[in-house]
Amino acid sequence: MDANGNIYIAGTGATTPYNDGVAAMETNLHRESLLIQVIIELLHSVPTYSVLQIHLCGEEQTPKPEQTGFVGPECDTLTCYGLNATSSDVCSRNGVCTGVNNCNCSNEYTGDQCQYSICFDKSNQTTAVCSGHGTCSSPNSCICNLGYEGLECEITHCYGVHSNQSTVCSNHGICSSWNTCQCNQGYIGNECQYFTCNGTQSNDETVCSAKGNCTSLNHCECTAGYMGPFCDVISCFGVVSTDISRVCSGNGTCIAPNSCSCHHWSQLFYQKYEL
């Protein structure tokens, strides 16, 4: 304050231009409420002056757009995330700035700043976009990973056959990922090309008890002299060896295919009286 009642406030902390040995008050004048408070306090301290003049000294500081939301000489220009609403780059060029930091995105984009493109109703920031097998590079445009194709990268291959073809995985499984077949029950092999009989692979030499061929799932075609679902029962002349009352006419034992070992009368007599 000088001798005439003029008060100098330096917003940047600079000293008063008057050589009175008193430093100017340091304050931040960008907040109107703080400036009013300073003026009231000064008025209370100088009641004898009929006229009070206040001079604001120091460099003018303009608030950043993200602090106020508006810029321009008359503070009439809206901003979104530091960019003027009229800028071609606002809202990532994919929307309209309709309010302070409020972007109204086009139908093909999402995100606070419309920075994420959408592919088939899924944002490119989600793991499910492009079926999880590609990148959403622009609206409804997927760049598929190696081994996948289709609009949404939903089609893959298993050993040269598309996953959506009926012949994939030998028609006995599902092509779940590139060159990976999930076989139906009873089928095995990289391409589900082998079926099983009683849990044994059809091309195994021990399948069907090594006495027949596994021609389909759990179906054995037995060689002559063998019977049963898995060719594990011997037969003699069409009768299974376990049918004691009928096999070998009930008078012998079926020891090999179509080979009866007949009982002797002495053996029968001994067995009868031994019992």
Query: Are residues 250 and 217 located together in one domain of the fold?
Result: no
pLDDT of residue 26 exceeding 50: no
Whether pLDDT at 57 is above 50: no
Residue pair 43/37 in contact by the 8 Å Cβ criterion: no
Per-residue pLDDT for 46 more than 80? no
Confidence (pLDDT) at 72: 77
Taking only the tens place, the pLDDT of each residue in 147-202 is: 999 999 999 999 999 999 999 999 999 999 999 999 999 999 999 999 999 989 99
- 219 in a structural domain: yes
Q: Cα separation of 46 and 130, whole Å?
A: 74
Q: Tell the residue number behind the tokens 């590609």, with chain if given.
A: 134
Listed residues 41, 57, 73: the one ending a domain = 57
Q: What is the DSSP string of 155-183?
A: EEEETTEETTSTTGGGGTEEEEETTEEEE
Q: Say which DSSP state 122 is in.
A: E
Same domain, 179 and 199: no
Is residue 129 assigned to a domain?
no
Last residue of a domain, one of 47, 82, 114: 114
Is residue 136 situated within a structural domain?
no
Q: Say yes or no: 182 and 198 in one domain.
A: no
Assign 54 a pLDDT band (cuts: 50, 70, 90): low
Query: What does the pLDDT look like over 195-242, one tens digit per residue?
Result: 999 989 998 999 999 999 999 999 999 998 888 899 989 888 888 888
Query: Residue 42 is part of which domain span?
Result: 6-57
Residue 138 within any structural domain of the chain: no
Q: Which residue has the tokens 């020891």?
A: 255
pLDDT of the residue at 34: 52
Asked whether residue 158 falls in the same domain as residue 184, the answer is yes
Q: Which segments of the chain does DSSP mark as H helices, in order?
A: 32-45, 65-68, 265-274
Which has more confidence, 73 or 12? 73
* Interatomic CA distance for residues 250 and 239, integer angstroms: 11
How many domains is the chain partitioned into structurally? 5
What is residue 25's predicted lDDT score, i.e. its pLDDT? 42
Are 40 and 14 found together in one domain?
yes
Domain match, 243 and 264 both: yes
Share above pLDDT 90 across residues of the chain, in percent, rounded to a whole number: 51
* pLDDT at residue 93, as a whole number: 95
Q: What pTM was computed for the model? A: 0.49
- Answer whether residue 218 is part of any domain: yes
Asked whether the predicted pLDDT for residue 35 surpasses 80, the reply is no
**How high is the mean pLDDT of the chain?**
80
The verdict on 51 and 13 lying in the same domain is yes
Same domain, yes or no, for 110 and 71?
yes
**Res 16 pLDDT > 60:** no
Q: What is the pLDDT of residue 228?
A: 87
- Is 137 part of any domain? no
Question: What confidence score (pLDDT) does residue 60 get?
Answer: 46
Q: Per-residue pLDDT tens for 93-130?
A: 999 999 999 999 999 999 999 999 999 999 999 999 99
Classify residue 238: in a domain, yes or no.
yes
| Domain CATH number, residue 158 | 2.10.25
Structure tokens that stand for 15 in this block = 């000293």
- Work out the pLDDT band at 270, boundaries 50, 70, 90: very low
Predicted pLDDT at 255: 87
Q: Per the domain annotation, does 123 fall within a domain?
A: no
Using DSSP, state whether 240 is helix, strand or coil: strand
